[in-house]
Amino acid sequence: MKVVETTPPSFPDVSPDALLTLESNQRWQVACGDEGHWRVGFYSPAEASPADIQELERHDCPEFFMLVSGKLSLYLSRDGVLQSIPLEPMKPILVESPHCGFCPDGPHTGVAVVVERDAFNTEYRKPQEW
């Protein structure tokens, strides 16, 4: 088990009222935020199936996910039962369970927008340890 603490400000300094630039083929990119409140980022995992997932993460607060392009599924542990949930465009999900994502069409082929707090702790464990 590993625990990581995220502290404010946990996002890049950006110019207000200007388009933001994102890198392609990145697992996680924090785009911007409001210090002490929230941050928003884009999630596009390299894993292509649950078999590729080595660990799940759980924050001490909920995360908002919404698919913006491609195909992306979340792999969750709910009460010790592992399950995959395919995301659907414009159908957000609020995640509290240990989770990780995968792109069934190949690495970085799906992208979700994620909104989370600016400060939180994250616990990482192998899927079967949840």
pLDDT tens track for 53-89? 999 999 999 999 999 999 999 999 999 999 999 999 9
Residue 87 tokens, joined: 């995301």
C-alpha 20/C-alpha 1 separation (Å) is 35
Closest CA to 42 of 20, 57, 13: 20
Q: Is residue 19 part of a domain?
A: no
Q: Is residue 60 part of a domain?
A: yes
C-alpha 39/C-alpha 117 separation (Å) is 6
Residue 78 tokens, joined: 């709910």
Q: Is residue 17 part of a domain?
A: no
C-alpha 57/C-alpha 101 separation (Å) is 10
Would you state the pLDDT for residue 51? 97
C-alpha 1/C-alpha 15 separation (Å) is 38
3-state secondary structure of 52: helix
Would you state the pLDDT for residue 107? 97
Question: What residues have CB less than 8 Å from 79, skipping those under 6 apart?
Answer: none
What is the average pLDDT score of the chain?
96
Count of domains for the chain:
1
Would you state the pLDDT for residue 39? 97
Would you state the pLDDT for residue 81? 95
> CA 124, 71, 5 angle in degrees (round to 5)?
20
C-alpha 54/C-alpha 49 separation (Å) is 11
CATH number for 81: 2.60.120.10
Q: Is residue 18 part of a domain?
A: no
Q: Is residue 46 part of a domain?
A: yes
Domain that holds residue 90: 2-11+25-129
Model pTM score: 0.93
Q: Is residue 43 part of a domain?
A: yes
Q: Is residue 100 part of a domain?
A: yes
Worst-scoring range by mean pLDDT, 20-29, 43-52, 66-75? Answer: 20-29
